[in-house]
Amino acid sequence: MGEDSLFIQPAFELGPVQLTNTVITTWVVMAIIGILAWLATRRLQIRPDRPQTMVEAIVSTIEESIRDIAPQHVDQILPFIGSLWIFIVLANLIGLIPGMHSPTRDLSATAAIAFLVFISVHWFGIRIQGLKNYLLHYLKPSPLLLPFNLISEVTRTIALAVRLFGNMMSLEMVALLVLLVAGFLVPVPILMLHIVEALVQAYIFGMLALIYVAGSLQSQQLSQQKQGENHD
């Protein structure tokens, strides 16, 4: 970890386009996920071996987390939330490799992920509820709250981006300062701190994204519950 490693440096240029370390590292993470997904699914067995058991355990854990928040829409939400969790975990942890840094310590990367969550919230809401029903939920419980509901959509997206960026940047700053002061006498505690914090931040980001997506579907669930009560 060099002294300038906290700053995002352009790796090379393609004409007017600059490719930063963040972009290249993001591509690396995406390639790793693609290769791991291919290796994990190319020989699925009825009696799973140890690698398949680990993959099924990860998928089951994510599925249960989604079921706790949005039990009626697990199948629709699972691919997005699962991919988001896995990507952020690997993006946070890849900074442990010498010469590489976490893409999530770059505000442009976390802003892009947060914007993807923002788009996905509306995509799932419109797709599952329909455009009219989805837009009407901004008028509940009172039309007077429409401006506040719209503002909250923007502010929570900004908060998502800044929270992940701030935590990952501060983590790398702490690690750099400790290494500068103490040298390499304390690498193991710093390594464990990075791993734990990376996992925690990935979990928080994914859970918040799940809550936001589930919130866009809440009005449909409530209407279905009311219809069921009326039939009873």
pLDDT of residue 1: 43
Residue 72 clears pLDDT 90, i.e. is over it: no
Query: CB neighbours (10 Å) of residue 166?
Result: 14
Q: Is the dihedral of CA 68, 70, 71, 74 positive or negative?
A: negative
Give the angle subtended at the CA of 15 by the CAs of 10 and 21, to the nearest 5°. 20
pTM above 0.85, yes or no: no
How many alpha carbons lie under 13 Å from residue 116 in its C-beta half-sphere? Answer: 14
38-42, 61-65, 140-144, 177-181: segment of lowest average pLDDT: 177-181
Q: At 14, which helix (H) or strand (E)?
A: strand 10-14
Long-range contacts: 41-47, Cβ < 8 Å, 24+? none
